[in-house]
Structure 1
């Protein structure tokens, strides 16, 4: 199945269309995730027994946070991103 582009921080939550906020995902995973948060989707994948990598998700969140620091803006994405980092740390 061909990969699709999935926004880690959903556009509906202020996530930018930057490479730092985009990951490859199969069409099924992208569609099933919908508007769930990245950590919520990670937890769902674990529950289903699908491969899930919290370290990789943390790296993507860190990369996006650093990009926001450089480029600025993203007023809506910043608090959402911080909450996802905290939630990921608690779940790990």
Structure 2
């Protein structure tokens, strides 16, 4: 049986506690005037769940610009733009998602995408 996930606001609080109050992509402080949004590393359209293990904090601009771009491609774009994207954070959260899926099961649509992203992010 799957455990109940916390609501969006609680997940955001947990994400900020886990990762710190910065955007995973541009490094902007999201604890004050710029509000944090939850960014799904494996997009929901690719089968990504709304689980703590699939989300990072992002500023609204980065979340909107990224859209459905893969984490590996968006990391490359952020670096091209000169932003201090946190590849270690992204990799850590993707690995946590892989473990959560192995433990809880399901998420068939997300597995192949997740595996590919783990390989590509590890090459960085």
Whose RCO is larger (CA < 8 A, sep 6+)?
A: 1
Paired residue secondary structure (2:37) = strand
**Structure 2: 5+ residue runs without aligned partners?**
1-33
**Structure 1: 5+ residue runs without aligned partners?**
none
From 78, 82, 91, the equivalent of 1:58 is: 91
Structure with greater helix share of residues = 1
Larger Rg computed on CA atoms:
2
1:39-78 per-position Cα deviation (integer Å, ceiling 9, x unaligned): 1111100000001121111101100000001110000101
The normalised TM-score by structure 2 is: 0.71
The normalised TM-score by structure 1 is: 0.95
Tell me how far apart the structure 1 counterparts of residues 104 and 93 of structure 2 sit (CA, whole Å).
16
Paired residue secondary structure (2:111) = helix
Runs of 4+ in 1 over 4 A off after TM superposition: none
Q: Which residue number corresponds to residue 84 of structure 1?
A: 117
